[in-house]
């Protein structure tokens, strides 16, 4: 099941920066571009696992702080000639509030 969760005010994420959201399935980096667009990716570079939230945001890309691996914010794809991708999540801004769409992990209980 997918649901939208409130992350906070857009102003709480620095322009050309990120904020980390901790979830049961791992950390998600929510990025803000210079034009106030928001994007969300796993906070783990597909190259060597570096923290993308600590990378440099430029245009609609982030550069991993460990090995300069460049990732597209819109879809998590690595920029050529690199290969791999980071999982992306739908994110939006409504009335100055950032929302993130995540899949809930549903577990069965034995009654």
| Domain 2-103 belongs in CATH node 2.102.10.10 | yes
Tell me the three state secondary structure of residue 103.
strand
Q: At residue 11, what are phi and psi to the nearest 5 degrees?
A: -65, -15
* pLDDT tens digit sequence for 39-59: 999 999 988 899 999 999 999
> Would you say 73 and 87 are in contact if contact means Cβ atoms under 8 Å apart?
no
> Would you say 14 and 32 are in contact if contact means Cβ atoms under 8 Å apart?
yes
- Give me the residue spans of the domains in the chain: 2-103
Check residue 44 and report its DSSP letter: S
Q: What is the pLDDT of residue 6?
A: 93
Work out the mean pLDDT of the chain and round it to a whole number. 88
């Amino acid at each position: 099941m997918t649901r939208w969760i409130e992350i906070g005010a857009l102003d709480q994420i620095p322009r050309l920066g990120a904020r980390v959201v901790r979830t049961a399935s791992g950390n998600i980096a929510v990025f803000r571009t210079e034009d106030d667009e928001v994007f969300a990716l796993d906070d783990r570079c597909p190259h060597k696992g570096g923290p993308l939230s600590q990378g440099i945001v430029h245009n609609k890309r982030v550069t991993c702080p460990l090995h300069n691996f460049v990732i597209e914010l819109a879809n998590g794809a690595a920029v050529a000639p690199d290969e791999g991708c980071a999982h992306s999540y739908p994110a939006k801004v409504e009335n100055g509030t950032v929302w993130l769409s995540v899949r809930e992990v549903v577990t069965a209980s034995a009654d």
